[in-house]
Amino acid sequence: MQKASLLGMTLLAAAVCGGAPDGPSGTASDPQFTKDNELIRPRDYRAWIYVTSGLGMAYGSDARESADPPFDNVFVQPAAYRAFLESGRWPDRTIFVLEVRSSKQHGSINKAGHFQGDLMAVEAAVKDETRFAEKWAYFGFGGGNSLKDQAKAFPSSACHSCHNKNGAVDNTFVQFYPTLLPVAESKGTLNPAYRP
């Protein structure tokens, strides 16, 4: 009896831990698509690797400082992160999530500074060299209480063009990712066009 329940626990542990679902390739947090090529919103990205937070990041010529600048939190799948540490490159089927949250002030004991509030947007970037002619594609799931379960890729001009032109490593903004920039520098994988 005791032996049987021990065996049961071992099997359960293997089911939970075995084949860790941290993609890429063949595991549960690889990017998942519908048959119409829409990306299914990853549910578990908060358990991925946390890359950085930007505060009030804005890029257009009309960009200006805001009194309540939104935070953006960047996450990447653990397996893609580990591959990047090894090589300074993103493997095929890498997926990033960019989560935008409002910033708040003066809550509870907080007297100065900002903390993160409501979810404003969830976006994703996927590298898939066979699925997308431009290798990377970009998706938005909306935000707030109306998060979409799946989304089709944005047109290239909306996202890809800026990422491709300005990202420090292979379409990604590694120049703003403080623990990854030194890796790219030491592996020599910064885009030739990138200027700090």
If binding is defined by CB under 6 A, does position 96 make contact with ligand HEC?
A: yes
If binding is defined by CB under 6 A, does position 163 make contact with ligand HEC?
A: yes
Q: By Cβ distance, which residue is nearest to ligand HEC?
A: 54
- Whole-angstrom distance, CA of residue 130 vs CA of residue 114: 42
- Whole-angstrom distance, CA of residue 76 vs CA of residue 46: 9
CA distances from 91 to 10, 49, 80, 119 (A): 33, 15, 6, 29
Binding segment for ligand HEC (CB under 6 A), chosen from 28-36, 40-48, 156-164, 180-188, is 156-164
Residues near ligand HEC (CB under 6 A), total: 22
Q: Which residues contact 173 (CB under 8 A, 6 or more apart)?
A: 163, 166, 167
Amino acid at 43: R
Out of 18, 59, 107, 146, point to the residue binding ligand HEC (CB under 6 A).
59
If binding is defined by CB under 6 A, does position 176 make contact with ligand HEC?
A: yes
- Whole-angstrom distance, CA of residue 181 vs CA of residue 190: 9
- Whole-angstrom distance, CA of residue 183 vs CA of residue 93: 20
If binding is defined by CB under 6 A, does position 147 make contact with ligand HEC?
A: no
Q: What does the per-residue mask of binding to ligand HEC show for 119-138, with x meaning CB under 6 A?
A: ----xxx------------x
Q: Specify whether the CB–CB gap between 63 and 162 falls below 8 A.
A: no
If binding is defined by CB under 6 A, does position 140 make contact with ligand HEC?
A: yes
Tell me the closest approach of the beta carbon of residue 110 to ligand HEC, in angstroms.
Answer: 23
If binding is defined by CB under 6 A, does position 154 make contact with ligand HEC?
A: yes
Which residues of the shown chain bind ligand HEC in the complex (CB under 6 A)?
A: 54, 57, 59, 72, 74, 96, 98, 123-125, 138-140, 154, 158-159, 162-163, 167, 172-173, 176
